[in-house]
Amino acid sequence: MQLEGTILKMRTVLAEPVQYTLPIGDSQINMNDLIGKEMKMTFTGQINCISCGKLTKTSFGQGFCYNCLQTAPEASESVLRPELSKSHFGMARDMEWAEKHDLINHFVYLAVSSEVKVGVTRMHQIPTRWIDQGASSAIKLAQTPNRHIAGVIEVFLKNHFTDKTNWRAMLKNEVAQNIDLLEEKRKVIELLPAELKKYVDTENEVTSIQYPVQQFPDKIKSIGFDKIPEITGTLLGIKGQYLLLDQDRVLNIRKHNGYFLRVEM
């Protein structure tokens, strides 16, 4: 079977294990069905911006052309640094977009990978955000009415937790042991100043996440289509937005948003 088209990051459904589908053109591929099988992916050289759709020689910020990187609301600084959002002041690249994406409920969360991480996500992105980061478990910490306040809480907590995922450790399944997320949440609540404590979320459900992996890599060899336009191998698993291939190779699908691929299965 062969499909071709522009790809986007894999869609996910929380299950045991996580279910992955790869959007490709007007179709999608059930990636779980390919685990343990050989597949071939060929990059044709065509890249389309995921915002405006125009051809671009180089992809910026995981899928944008240079112009959209500078102007598109979904590529603004506050996407990576929520505390910089000024939408609550009526200031944004596109206020109509901001009303749907920044001026809505956001969650600050704690997630476990190789260590405990603090992060921010929009309400509708749970648990997708946790899965995309390869978290083994996560818990909601605070709920805020906009992106800026969530970012302020995250910045405050960076003094006590990392806000980055160690992607190499994550892909080798080096998970921090004996972490009680409920206890970690209690500790965090004590750290928060009074003006931020009022946003603490009372839900204490811990979400555990299992990934469809037959074998984790011993060492990490990161590969990509810019240097290797044709990639063939056996798919051994999927974690985060990475395909785990034989020979310890890992392929970041999200990095290749907008790439036109031919996939043979």
Mean pLDDT of the chain: 97
Mean pLDDT of 92-103: 97
SS3 197: helix
Are 12 and 18 contacting, i.e. CB atoms less than 8 angstroms apart? yes
Q: Does residue 14 sit in the same domain as residue 43?
A: yes
Helices (H), the chain: 66-71, 77-80, 95-101, 128-132, 147-157, 167-171, 181-191, 194-197
SS3 56: coil
Are 218 and 229 contacting, i.e. CB atoms less than 8 angstroms apart? no
Q: Which residues pair with 28 in a beta bridge?
A: 23
What digits encode the pLDDT tens for the residues 243-254? 999 999 999 999
187 falls in which pLDDT band (50, 70, 90)? very high
Q: Does residue 179 sit in the same domain as residue 203?
A: yes
What digits encode the pLDDT tens for the residues 208-231? 999 999 999 999 999 999 999 999
Tokens 């079977």 appear where?
A: 1
Q: Does residue 134 sit in the same domain as residue 228?
A: no
Q: Does residue 154 sit in the same domain as residue 140?
A: yes
Instruction: Look at residue 70 and tell me if it is in a domain.
Output: no
Instruction: Look at residue 71 and tell me if it is in a domain.
Output: no
Instruction: Look at residue 25 and tell me if it is in a domain.
Output: yes
Q: Give the whole-angstrom CA distance, residue 207 versus residue 137.
A: 5
Q: Does residue 189 sit in the same domain as residue 101?
A: yes
Residues contacting 221, CB < 8 A, separation 6+: 247, 248, 249, 250
- What tokens does 155 get? 């910045």
Instruction: Look at residue 87 and tell me if it is in a domain.
Output: yes
Q: Does residue 94 sit in the same domain as residue 187?
A: yes
Q: Does residue 86 sit in the same domain as residue 201?
A: yes
- Check residue 192 and give its pLDDT: 96
Q: Give the whole-angstrom CA distance, residue 136 versus residue 127.
A: 11
Q: Give the whole-angstrom CA distance, residue 14 versus residue 21.
A: 12
Mean pLDDT of 137-161: 96
**How many domains are there within the chain?**
2
Domain that holds residue 220: 2-65+213-264
- Check residue 170 and give its pLDDT: 97
Are 63 and 257 contacting, i.e. CB atoms less than 8 angstroms apart? yes
Q: Does residue 204 sit in the same domain as residue 217?
A: no
Q: Please identify, among 191, 208, 225, the residue that sits at the C-terminal boundary of a domain.
A: 208
Q: Which residues pair with 238 in a beta bridge?
A: 243
Question: Which H or E element spans position 244?
Answer: strand 242-245
Q: Does residue 100 sit in the same domain as residue 147?
A: yes
Neighbours of 264 (CB within 10 A): 13
Q: Does residue 84 sit in the same domain as residue 202?
A: yes
Nearest to 236 by CA among 40, 42, 41, 32: 32
Mean pLDDT of 41-69: 97
114 falls in which pLDDT band (50, 70, 90)? very high
SS3 211: coil
- Check residue 144 and give its pLDDT: 98
- Check residue 40 and give its pLDDT: 98
Q: Please identify, among 178, 208, 238, the residue that sits at the C-terminal boundary of a domain.
A: 208
183 falls in which pLDDT band (50, 70, 90)? very high
Task: Give me the DSSP letters along 104-156.
Answer: S-EEEEEEESSSEEEEEEEGGGTTHHHHHTT-SEEEEEEEESSHHHHHHHHHH
95 falls in which pLDDT band (50, 70, 90)? very high
Q: Does residue 178 sit in the same domain as residue 142?
A: yes
Q: Does residue 162 sit in the same domain as residue 255?
A: no
- Check residue 217 and give its pLDDT: 97
